[in-house]
Amino acid sequence: MSATENQGQGTQQQGPEESRVFDPSAAFAAQATISGMDAYRAMVAEAEHDYEGFWAKLARENLSWKKPFTRTLNEDNAPFYKWFEDGQLNVSYNCLDRNIENGLGDKTAIIFEADDGTVTKASYKELHEKVCKFANGLKSKGIAKGDRVIIYMSMSVEGVAAMQACARIGATHSVVFGGFSAKSLQERIIDAGAVAVITGDEQLRGGKKLPLKSIVDEALALGGCESVKNVIVYKRTGSDLPMVAGRDTWLHELVEGQSAQCEPEWVDAEHPLFILYTSGSTGTPKGVQHSSGGYLLWAALTMKWSFDIKPDDVFWCTADIGWVTGHSYIAYGPMAVGATQVVFEGIPTYPNAGRFWETIKKHNVSIFYTAPTAIRSLIKAADVDPKVHPSNYDLTSLRLLGTVGEPINPEAWMWYYKNIGGEKCPIVDTFWQTETGGHMITPLPGATPMVPGSCTLPLPGIMAAIVDEAGQDVPNGQGGILVVKRPWPSMIRTIWNNPERFKSSYFPEELGGKMYLAGDGAIRNKDTGYFTITGRIDDVLNVSGHRMGTMEIESALVANPLVAEAAVVGRPDDTTGESICAFVVLKQARPTGEEAKKLALELRNWVGKEIGPIAKPKEIRFGDNLPKTRSGKIMRRLLRVLAKGETITQDVSTLENPAILDQLKEAS
């Protein structure tokens, strides 16, 4: 393999030359849904030969349609593509009723592993009943097709049921991660124009009770949320909470006496199933809008292709429903294929860092999907405390492993392969995004020879390529910009409330207006054509697999009355992939020593309050100024070098104030 290079501004670096190749075992390949590279190549060729025919066939085979579609792809108003547009279906019907009709009513849909280890199971029949009652309850509050509903809940069967219940009645949900602040929640409520918020009293994580409902109250009190008429509260911890008469309803009271049957609302394939807010390079988060038909098709198909899901598998995706991974591979994908899955409330280090490995054994998990950050932190924990090393746990139920969210460094890949997979489980390093709806570039576990640190090849039908800034293909071995050249069924449809931003962010004119711009840099191996993602090419950071815009954090910092100016950059971090380093100029004199420490802590907490704890900078350095060009542009490129603790070797002659660099070299 050739060495990879970081084309983008992102700070993710792959390791040195990577020449190790791991073939899927013959035994795995023999039983796999897509077995061997010839099978993969045949599918790729089929998609290239008849693109629409390829997708139409899959959509007919994998989904149940109330009204069959006759038109596969409509490109008339590109890039506002439409898929299966005259077809009608219901996502919740496809995830629940259809499985029951197929004889899976008594099969376990969800094994819920609570924070304290308590286990509750729900069969497809039971989940169907829960979702129908929930859906009827929402209807009784006047919530109807097309309404937006915010879901601000922790990991729970009820959280998944809330999403499915919205889908059942055609309401568009927008899940907001339970770690976001009241202000972030308020912004999303306003942008979505939500009519209701579904939340919990509190959440339990690592033995601690954390607020949910009180943050909703706070968000609504910030103003501008008059569209919200109902707040529905799931009782998790039972703590005493004020309920607002006429607005707040306990979930158990809402569903009491509701019918266990609820006729699904049949919607057009393009009907927005959900909006999920994610960070972009500019200030406000973008409401990524997904469809019903195309989205569900890809969630189901990737369960089969990438995860090789089979009837007896126990699938466990450790993501939170607040992120896209928890949408596609918890709330929808597993149920769209009638699988059994573990839904986990807790954290990987509670009661100790063996929790994942213990839980795999406890529930006989066969397919395990997690983030590189979690793997790296558990490697460290096992080094410190040999008792939580995976060798102490029986992991023989596993047959397939996956990762998502950020590049996995080859060392972490090898550790995962050896210590968790026992050198027999293929690893699918799945590259995808909130905007793509599901996996895009990933090994097929029964076909693709794996190379640590590479997400390998695009799935059949995904026309991924690497181009230069003018949109021209670059040869393998040369890095560039990752694009997708043709629309695919689960792609983002628009940015809620902002179609112009959708066009300029994802289909920029510079690239001809028809290629999807992922926002990542990538390089293909000269010999194999394998893709390696080299990191974001925009001002988006990836901390522990969570996306954050540098501008969002900067705006939060300058909103503090003490702050005059702020610049935020990412720097490589052994555990979290990237971490946040902020350079701050205060209105008062530059603090040093203890005062700097105190103010840094204050500002970190401020950011936590403005956005959420995940956005707190790991380090804050104070300066009298920031390095700027003569035209006043902050040179973030130089700040990235300083954040890493490296010496600046670039030309700084265009700087207005080169002396400032010395001051910003280290903590104040």
* Residue ranges in contact with ligand 6R9 by CB under 6 A: 278, 323-325, 404-407, 429-434, 455, 518-520, 533, 536, 542, 545, 547
326 or 623: whose CB is closer to ligand 6R9?
A: 326
Q: How far is the CB of 430 from ligand 6R9 (least distance, A)?
A: 5
SS3 assignment, position 113:
strand
User: What span, in angstroms and rounded, lies between the C-alpha atoms of 407 and 536?
Assistant: 11
Q: Based on CB atoms, which residue is closest to ligand 6R9, 328 or 560?
A: 328
Say whether 536 counts as a known binding-site residue: yes
- The answer to whether 547 is a known ligand-binding residue is yes
Q: Has 544 been labeled as part of a binding site?
A: yes
Q: 258 or 434, CB closer to ligand 6R9?
A: 434
8 Å CB contact between 375 and 350? no
Tell me the residue nearest to ligand 6R9 as measured from the CB: 434
**Residue 88 or 306 with smaller CB distance to ligand 6R9:** 306
Q: Is 434 annotated as a binding residue?
A: yes
**Distance between CA 92 and CA 161 in Å, rounded?**
10
Which residues is 456 bridged to in the sheet?
531
Residue with tokens 């026992």: 422
| Cβ proximity to ligand 6R9, 370 vs 668, nearer residue | 370
Question: The tokens 């009943």 sit on which residue?
Answer: 129
Q: Are the CB atoms for 434 and 491 separated by under 8 Å?
A: no
- State the minimum distance, in angstroms, from the CB of residue 497 to ligand 6R9: 19
266 assigned ligand-binding residue = no
Alpha-helix residue ranges (DSSP H) falling in 122-269: 124-140, 157-169, 182-192, 213-221, 251-255
Q: Which is nearer to ligand 6R9, 307 or 431 (CB)?
A: 431
Q: Is 205 annotated as a binding residue?
A: yes
The annotation status of 610 as a binding-site residue, yes or no, is: no
Q: Which residue has the tokens 């066969």?
A: 366
Minimum CB distance to ligand 6R9, residue 279 (Å): 8
Q: Assign 401 to helix, strand or coil.
A: strand
CB of 199 to ligand 6R9, least distance (A): 22
Shortest distance (Å) from residue 435 CB to ligand 6R9: 7
Please tell me whether residue 567 adopts helix, strand or coil conformation. strand
| Omega of the bond leading into 489 within 30 degrees of 0 (cis) | no
Specify whether the CB–CB gap between 423 and 501 falls below 8 A.
no
Pick 20 or 387: Cβ nearer ligand 6R9: 20
The amino acid that residue 590 corresponds to is: R
Contacts of 226 (CB under 8 A, 6+ apart): none
Taking the least distance from each CB to ligand 6R9, the nearer of 14 and 560 is 14
207 annotated ligand-binding residue: yes
Q: Which is nearer to ligand 6R9, 88 or 302 (CB)?
A: 302
Beta bridge partners of 239: none
User: In whole angstroms, how close is the CB of 403 to ligand 6R9 at the nearest point?
Assistant: 6
8 A C-beta contact, residue 496 and residue 22: no
C-alpha torsion sign, points 433, 436, 437, 438 = negative
For residue 351, the minimal CB distance to ligand 6R9 (Å) is: 28
208 marked ligand binding residue = yes
The annotation status of 594 as a binding-site residue, yes or no, is no
Measure CA 144 to chain center: 27
* Least separation in angstroms between CB 526 and ligand 6R9: 20
Least gap, CB of 325 to ligand 6R9 (angstroms): 5
Q: Is 337 annotated as a binding residue?
A: no
The dihedral built from the CA positions of residue 409, 411, 413 and 416, taken in this order, carries a sign that is: negative
Ligand-binding site membership of 405 (annotated): yes
The two tokens of residue 144 are 């109807």
Is 72 one of the annotated binding-site residues? no
Which CB, 94 or 279, lies closer to ligand 6R9? 279
429 annotated to bind ligand: yes
Q: Quote the least distance from Cβ 406 to ligand 6R9, whole Å.
A: 5
Give the gyration radius of the chain's Cα atoms: 24
Q: Give 294's DSSP letter.
A: H
Q: Supply the DSSP string of 502-559, one letter for each residue.
A: HHHHHS-GGGTS-SEEEEEEEEE-TTT--EEEEEESSSEEEETTEEEEHHHHHHHHHT
Q: Which amino acid is at 545?
A: G
Q: What is the amino acid identity at position 566?
A: A
Distance CA 559, CA 315 (A): 43
Which residue(s) pair with 341 in the sheet?
110, 315
Is 119 strand, coil or helix?
strand
Q: Compute the least distance from the CB of residue 300 to ligand 6R9, in Å.
A: 17
Smallest separation (angstroms) from ligand 6R9 to the CB of 439: 9
Does 406 carry a binding-site annotation?
Answer: yes
Task: Report the C-alpha gap between 276 and 176 in whole angstroms.
Answer: 8
Residue among 490 and 560 whose Cβ is closer to ligand 6R9: 490
Residue 432 labelled as part of a binding site: yes
Closer residue to ligand 6R9, CB minimum distance, 354 or 535:
535
For residues 560 and 533, is the Cβ–Cβ distance under 8 A? no
For tokens 């199971």, name the residue.
121
Is 431 annotated among the ligand-binding residues?
Answer: yes
Residue 163 Cβ vs ligand 6R9, minimum distance, rounded to whole Å: 17
Residue 27, Cβ density class (10 Å: 0-12 exposed, 13-18 middle, ≥19 buried): exposed
Q: Which residues contact 77 (CB under 8 A, 6 or more apart)?
A: none
Residue ranges at the known binding site for CoA: 205-208, 325, 544
Residue ranges at the known binding site for ATP: 405-407, 429-434, 520, 536, 547
Residue ranges at the known binding site: 205-208, 325, 405-407, 429-434, 520, 536, 544, 547, 558, 563
Residue ranges at the known binding site for Mg(2+): 558, 563
